[in-house]
């Protein structure tokens, strides 16, 4: 993993933010700025990457104790991260976002495009076509994630969702759905029909764009 000192000064997170704006930074770079610095033996970008792995798997339930288990993260850094995330949650909530087309959920998930592993995401939708909650259901390998319908629908049932949209990133290769993507879409649609929770779309995405099963007539 490339360390901060190995990156040209103009491409370092703070300088990049100043020159190109916060929206140009990856999640890891934004986290590195929050951390400010690493510790002896723990480069700030390495620590930021480890924190993101914890956050991606936390399903929205962040515990300071978990962050402190990461080498290079003490109580001060852990509380700073928790406070920053809660502040952002209070100001910018996906809940209530109106969905006219399934691809409207892309701003909620696009930050997962830079992940090195596949992240399978489920967005609960209510009867008014508004986002109830967006969650990471599963984190997999570089080109494959394991997911089961019961894991996907567990939270939407609790949310009393009337529909869901699922999505996952393709870290490598094209946006073309794999045979596994097609099969899990079929399974989720069938399970949703049984549960009374419609599967509106399955979106495959990366930095370059997205592939919608619905838009391609595969729903």
Using DSSP's 3-state secondary structure scheme, residue 40 falls into coil
82, 102, 168, 199, 214 from 203: Cα distances, Å:
30, 8, 7, 11, 8
pLDDT one-digit tens code per residue, 1-22: 556 666 766 678 888 888 888 8
The pLDDT, as a whole number, for residue 204 is 95
| Domain end call among 35, 64, 91 | 91
| Domain end call among 65, 91, 117 | 91
Q: Which domain holds residue 174?
A: 102-212
**Res. 163 pLDDT band, cuts 50 70 90:** very high
**Res. 142 pLDDT band, cuts 50 70 90:** low
Number of domains making up the chain: 2
Higher pLDDT, 168 or 55: 168
List the CATH number of the domain containing 178. 3.40.140.10
**Res. 167 pLDDT band, cuts 50 70 90:** very high
| Domain end call among 68, 91, 114 | 91
Residue that is written with structure tokens 């080109």 in the block: 143
**Res. 43 pLDDT band, cuts 50 70 90:** confident
User: Could you tell me if residue 157 is inside a domain?
Assistant: yes
106 shares its domain with 87:
no
The answer, as to whether pTM is greater than 0.95, is no
Rounded to an integer, the average pLDDT of 58-71 is: 76
The pLDDT, as a whole number, for residue 143 is 59
The pLDDT, as a whole number, for residue 162 is 96
CB-CB contact of 180 with 144 (8 Å): yes
8 shares its domain with 87:
yes
The pLDDT, as a whole number, for residue 6 is 63
């Amino acid at each position: 993993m490339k360390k901060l000192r190995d990156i040209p000064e103009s491409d370092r997170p703070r300088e990049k933010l100043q020159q190109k704006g916060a929206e140009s930074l990856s999640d890891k770079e934004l986290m590195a700025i929050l951390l400010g610095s690493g510790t002896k033996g723990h480069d700030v970008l390495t620590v930021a990457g480890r924190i993101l792995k914890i956050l991606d798997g936390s399903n929205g339930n962040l515990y300071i104790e978990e962050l402190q288990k990461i080498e290079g993260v003490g109580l001060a850094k852990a509380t700073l991260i928790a406070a920053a995330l809660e502040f952002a949650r209070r100001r910018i909530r996906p809940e209530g976002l109106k969905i006219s087309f399934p691809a409207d959920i892309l701003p909620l998930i696009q930050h997962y495009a830079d992940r090195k592993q596949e992240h399978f995401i489920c967005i609960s939708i209510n009867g008014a076509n508004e986002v109830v909650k967006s969650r990471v259901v599963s984190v997999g390998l570089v080109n494959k994630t394991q997911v089961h319908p019961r894991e996907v629908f567990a939270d939407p049932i609790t949310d009393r969702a009337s529909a869901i949209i699922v999505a996952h990133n393709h870290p490598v290769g094209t946006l073309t759905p794999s045979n596994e993507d097609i099969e899990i879409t079929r399974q989720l649609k069938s399970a949703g029909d049984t549960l009374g929770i419609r599967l509106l779309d399955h979106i495959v995405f990366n930095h370059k764009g997205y592939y919608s099963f619905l838009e391609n007539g595969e729903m």
